[in-house]
Structure 1
Amino acid sequence: MGSGKAVYQPPPAASYRDVPDYAETASMSSAVLLEDVEAAFPDEELPPYQDEPVEAHLLPTASASTSNAAIQLGTYAPPDLPFQTHDHSCREYRTRFPLYSTDSESLYKAIKEQAFYPPNYQVQIYGSHTETRRNGNKETKARVDDFLIVIDITNLLGGLGKGTFEILPNNKRGYRGTRIPSLHPTVSSDADAEEGVDELKRWCDRYVADKSGWKSFTLKRKIINHDKKRLERLLRSAIAETNYRGHVSIDFPEQRTSLIVYSPGKINEWRITSWIRWVFYCAFLWIFAWPFLFIITARYETVKAVYRYADQPPGDDMRRRCIVMTEVEWFHRWQSAIKRAAIARMMCRDGVLDEHYRLGTERTDVRGELHGRQPEAPRTGNAFVDGAIGLLGQGLRLASDYNDARGWGADS
């Protein structure tokens, strides 16, 4: 609800942690096995987990030949605009730069440039369980966070410039510089559309020419044709394979879904100032302020940048073609890394799992397949020490088998 700082900053790098804190871990089955494997093969250590994404420079004319580059993790952040702020969730960005309300060419170029960048798109998998704690006759329940896995999937939208402009058609109601949705005014006729008239430029001209004291021009970014339900079922099955018994929620958060250009003026400055908004909320003044702002603001919401995950909605898998890869293909690429992160109690609060983590997991899986699930214990040459290590390894494997059967993360 509040506005952020004018300059968007990527989240700070989070340290890679493969093995969770033993004091907080209810089950260490797979984590112990992974530790055994890596201890036996120290020469191939995994790279540190980094939150800094790999840069991917995709041209707007990118085709199937550039799909390999699109697979690499990339965060496509558009250039910051002057006087830019954003809300707490980073979904809505705003600017009050005066030139955009007085020079239609500057507004047109800014909208075109911003629409070139897709919205940020992620997969978020959250696991938790409830613990009952007893202190004498008193019983309290507390929620325990088991894991929070976040993966950036913006690259699956095809990269920069893969979106298409959608202008509000003449036969559909919308905000056309009006206070309520309307069919009028229009900026082109059917004949103009056939001639390829740039309707975006005409709407920018109309916005600048509008003499209203308070007005706004909105660019919306939209993602379509992604089979979220199917991917959610696959992700739940992967978590279930770890014998997790807690509660799992899966979400697909989006950021930078809209850009609003406000005309200069004190009222528009106040309406996007964080502390003023909080004051109005806490004092319930929004009950009077919101209707007032709604009445006085001429709203232009006629432009969308649509990014397609596939050329058709889910349902017809035979004819449906995804821009980069299908939901099933992406799941198979990330399945092992997701399971590993869940077992390791990964908490991606300020970062995401990146391509380095996924590739590191693949290398670990290959080593495990080559040397079996029970790697030979290292030999020191001392019979007593070697025997103790062997007994310890057998004990850990017995504990692992027991925890695998019992599951982990259940309510207690």
Structure 2
Amino acid sequence: MGRPGSSSRPGDDAVSLHTQPGDRFLDDDAPELQVDDLPPLYDDVAGPQDDSAPLLSAPPAAIPPFAGMVDYHQKDANTGSEFYLNHRLDTQPKLLEQHVNYWALLPPRPYVRLHGTHSQEVDNNGKKERKKVTDFDVQVELTPYLFSDPVSRAAFRELRTVENSEKTRRGTVLRKRAPGSTQSIEVGLPDKPTLEEWCHRYQASHAGVKCFSVHRRMTGFDQEKVKQKLEALVRDTNYRGHLEVSFPVKDEYVHVYNDCKTNRWRLTAWIVWLSILTLTFLFTWPYLFFRTKRFEVVTADWAFSVMGEDGRRKYVSISEDQLYNLWGRAIHRAVLEKRQCTLDQQDLIAAEGAPPVFGNAVVDGAMGFLRAGVSAMNEVNRQLGWGGDC
């Protein structure tokens, strides 16, 4: 297995090559939105299938359940990072390899986030202070577009180990290249270790505190292009505040810690909070940092697009332009409504079609009056500007 975009590529049946012109918001050539074409919610996607991993060398074996075992599993509510502590993963390299193959079948959850803020002067008991106010905080999840077919989970994904020339933690505290990676081509470069070899190295390490990590990431996505389009979209509403367009990723890391008292304590919630409240983390954090030997040598690359043999990008599902045309109206509307949420299919429908009718003349009349008032305020904001510091 090599780097993404190498000669190892999936077949033509694993990717959609349909492209669409149009770089502008509300492009005239943008396709009409059909309910059947809406991207699925992440929770609606079926579980992993063994026969739809075109860039994995082989399907993973069945994973023994953790339930009923004296093990530890925790998932960070904010980042989605997972933490495992299991003595069997410390002593059985083949079992660890099977788990890594399984974790690689689960995608990262990338988002595009638009966060608008302004500062406002407030009176706090006679003292003037400046307060940061959120105008809007809108997110769109990109996970559905990592699949060419979400039902069968067909995707461009590749499980790879780090190259010898890459700087990373190889059972060390600090990042470094592999020994001998600076040799000249004439001498010959050593082959990089396989996943199986790294699992054996992790098991054979005599470090008292160690961690084996799997990194899931999205590749082949032009963040700068999407960022520029979305910034222009928001500024077209005459927004004068501070705008940040970012691309956070959830479910990005899986960490396996070896079974020892130090790792059990570091993963115990009340001990962590006690360390924070008593400020002992000022001493425990440096200790844990220099004590833990980390293996950050495995990456699961999920491609948004790959480079074809003809030098052109081939997209798994849609291009950045199509993504912008699909979500532009919904994002535009959510920003003007000053929402703080993650947009979904209902927002696409609401942005494209007419508002729903409730079947009651009084209710429909009131809702129409409310919508007219909101639209009027949005139009005034668009013309005169909004969201500036005050």
Is TM more than 0.5 here?
Answer: yes
**TM-score interval, smaller chain:** 0.5 to 0.7
Structure 2 runs not aligned, ≥5 long: 1-34, 55-64, 182-187
* Partner SS for 1:364: coil
Q: CA deviation at 1:230?
A: 1.3
Paired residues, number: 318
| Higher Cα Rg, which structure | 1
Q: Which residue of the partner structure matches residue 171 of structure 2?
A: 177
How do residues 195-344 of structure 1 correspond to structure 2 at under 5 angstroms?
199-281=194-276, 283-312=278-307, 319-344=312-337
Q: Distance in 1 between matches of 2:313 and 2:90?
A: 42
Q: Name structure 1 gaps, 5 residues minimum.
A: 1-45, 65-78, 368-378, 381-385
Return the match for 2:110 from 117, 121, 127: 121
Question: Structure 2 matches for 1:5-404, cutoff 5 A?
Answer: 53=42, 55-57=44-46, 83-87=72-76, 89-133=78-122, 139-158=128-147, 160=153, 162-180=156-174, 181=176, 183=178, 199-281=194-276, 283-312=278-307, 319-348=312-341, 352-364=342-354, 402-404=380-382
**What TM-score do the two structures reach when normalised by structure 1?**
0.64
What's the counterpart of residue 389 of structure 2?
A: 411
Q: SS of the counterpart of 1:311? A: strand
The answer to whether the 8 A contact 1:176-1:185 is kept is no
User: Taking structure 2 as the reference length, what is the TM-score of the superposition?
Assistant: 0.67
**Cα distance between partner residues in 2 of 1:185 and 1:263:** 29
Counterpart residue identity of residue 134, structure 2: D
What code does the residue aligned with 1:202 have?
A: E
Deviation per residue, 1:127-160 (Å, 9 max, x gap): 2223334699754433322211111111222364
Aligned to 2:10: none
Question: What is the root-mean-square deviation of aligned Cα atoms in Å?
Answer: 4.2
Distance across 1 between alignment mates of 2:124 and 2:286:
51
Alignment check: 8 A CA contact 1:53 1:354 kept:
no
Q: Secondary structure at the match of 1:260?
A: strand
**Preserved contact between residue 42 and residue 143 of structure 2 (Cα < 8 Å):** no
Shift of 1:110: 0.9
How big is each residue's C-alpha offset from its partner over 1:243-280, in whole Å with a ceiling of 9 and x where there is no partner? 32322211111112211111111111112333433444
| Residues 166 and 126 of structure 1: CA distance in aligned 2, closer, same or farther (over 3 Å) | same
Give the secondary-structure state (helix, strand or coil) at the position aligned to 2:107.
Answer: coil
In the superposition, relative to structure 1, how do residues 354 and 60 fare at CA in structure 2: closer, same or farther (>3 Å)?
farther
Partners of 2:336 and 2:378 within 8 A in 1: no
**Structure 1 letter corresponding to 2:195:** L
1:176/1:184 contact within 8 Å kept: no
Structure number with higher strand proportion: 2
How far apart are the structure 2 equivalents of 1:267 and 1:118? 30
State how far apart, in whole Å, the 1-side matches of 2:301 and 2:287 are: 32
Report the Cα offset of residue 166 of structure 1: 1.7
d(CA) in 1 for partners of 2:140, 2:370: 36
> Aligned with 1:144: secondary structure?
strand
CA deviations 1:67-106 (Å, max 9, x no partner) are xxxxxxxxxxxx9885211345325321102211122222
Q: Give the structure with the higher percent helix.
A: 1
